[in-house]
Amino acid sequence: MNTPTLISGNPNEVAAGAFVLGGALSTVLIISLIMGILSIIAGWRILKKAGEPGWKILIPFYNYYTILKIVKLKTWFWFMIALNVLTVVSFYVCNLDVELLSTGTPEQVQAYLETYNFAQNPMVIVSIVLSMIYGVTLTILFSHRLSKVFGHGIGFTLGLIFLQPIFWLILGFDSSKYNKKNLKA
C-alpha cells in the first residue's frame, strides 16, 4: 500500500529545492532584521534630534505617541487607538471570525469570506474603510509635518511616504535641526 507524501520526486531535486527555499527565507529574514535594526537606530536619532529620549522608540504604542507628539499630532494618536478599538468591536459585534482570519490557511480565509454576509453587516466594511482612510491621511499628514519640522520640503515628504526606511535614515543622520516653529509657516 502506498502512503501519500507531501513531497515526491527525485530526492536530490527535493533536497536542492529545500536548500534554495531555505536560503531565500534566510535572506528575507536577515534583510528584515537589518531593516528593523536600522529603523530603530534612525527613529532613536530622530527622537534625540527632537529633544526626546531615544529609548522611547523601543516601547510599542508609546513610540507612536512620542513621534506624533514631535510633529504636534498627538491627538491623532488617540483617534487612532479609538478607531482601532471600534474596528475590533465591530468585528465581534458582527460575528466576524477574527481568529480564523488571522490564523487560518488562505483557502480557509477565502472560503469564509465568500460565505460571510457583508451586506447584512455593513459596519464591518465601514470600519475597515474608515481605518484605511484614516491610516493614509495620517501617513501623509505625519510625513509632511515631520519633513517640515526638520526644514525639508515636499520632495522629502514624498520620500517619507514612499521610501520611509531610507528617508528615516537620511533624517536621522543628516545635519537638519528640529524646529517646531516650522509647523506655523
The answer to whether residue 49 is domain-embedded is yes
The answer to whether residue 35 is domain-embedded is yes
DSSP classification of residue 4: P
Which set of grid coordinates corresponds to residue 35? 531593516
Domain span at 122: 11-183
Residue range 50-74: mean pLDDT, rounded = 96
C-alpha count within 13 angstroms, C-beta hemisphere, residue 15: 3
Compute how many other C-beta atoms are within 10 angstroms of the C-beta atom of residue 57. Answer: 22
The answer to whether residue 121 is domain-embedded is yes
pLDDT in tens, 132-181: 999 999 999 999 999 999 999 999 999 999 999 999 999 999 999 999 99
Residue 170: per-residue pLDDT: 96
Residue 139: per-residue pLDDT: 95
Give the DSSP H/E element, type plus range, for residue 5.
none
Q: Where are the beta strands (DSSP E) in 18-151?
A: none
The C-alpha atoms of residue 153 and residue 146 are separated, in whole angstroms, by 10
The answer to whether residue 95 is domain-embedded is yes
Q: Where are the beta strands (DSSP E) in the chain?
A: none
The answer to whether residue 1 is domain-embedded is no
The answer to whether residue 4 is domain-embedded is no
The answer to whether residue 106 is domain-embedded is yes
Residue 6: per-residue pLDDT: 57
The answer to whether residue 15 is domain-embedded is yes
Report how many domains make up the chain: 1
